[in-house]
Amino acid sequence: MKKKLLNLGLAGALVSTFSLTPYAATTASAANNSEEEIIVPVEDDNVVETQGKATITIKAAKELIEKNKTKIDNAIEKAIYAIPGLSDENKKKWAGTITAVGIAKYLGEVTGAADTAEDAVTDYLTDTLGVPSVVATPVVKTVFFIVL
């Protein structure tokens, strides 16, 4: 199988930086950041699976969040407690509700359903958990600051 190196934007940066083996050998032209199909080799040489760049990025983010869950959980708690104007009761509530494990699990379930990993996590926090955007935004920024 011939392998080509590509510029995949954020997805490529995650793939190449962290050497995620299943996604390392992509063979498609990805000159811009639009959603495109990427050919990802699977174990059977006769089968080709296509995935969009957002899907590859979300999967890579999920793996990185799982690997750094303690660091991310600590950063989430610090970010929540630093939000001004939020009551101590709500800070405690959201710090106990939002976890790296929950975020990673959700990313594993929604692969391909969002434009970016940040959008997917924001949707999870606001739509699924009911977290207000004033809490969700700094949490998402904190998580992806650590992951990237």
Q: Is 46 helix (H, G, I), strand (E, B) or coil?
A: coil
Neighbours of 89 (CB within 10 A): 8
CB burial of 15-52 (b: ≥16 within 10 Å; e: otherwise) equals beeeeeeebeebeeebeeeeebebebbeeeeeeeeebb
Query: In a structure prediction context, what are the per-residue pLDDT tens digits for the chain, which is 148 residues long?
Result: 443 333 334 333 333 333 333 333 332 333 334 445 544 445 555 554 555 666 777 888 899 999 999 999 999 999 999 999 999 999 999 999 999 999 999 988 875 566 788 989 999 999 999 999 999 999 999 999 998 7
Q: Is 37 helix (H, G, I), strand (E, B) or coil?
A: strand
For residues 128 and 111, give the distance between their C-alpha atoms in angstroms, rounded to a whole number. Answer: 16
Is residue 68 packed enough to be buried (19+ CB in 10 Å), middle (13-18) or exposed (0-12)? middle
Q: If phi over 0 gives left and psi between -120 and 50 gives alpha, with beta otherwise, what is residue 48?
A: beta
State the pTM of this model: 0.62
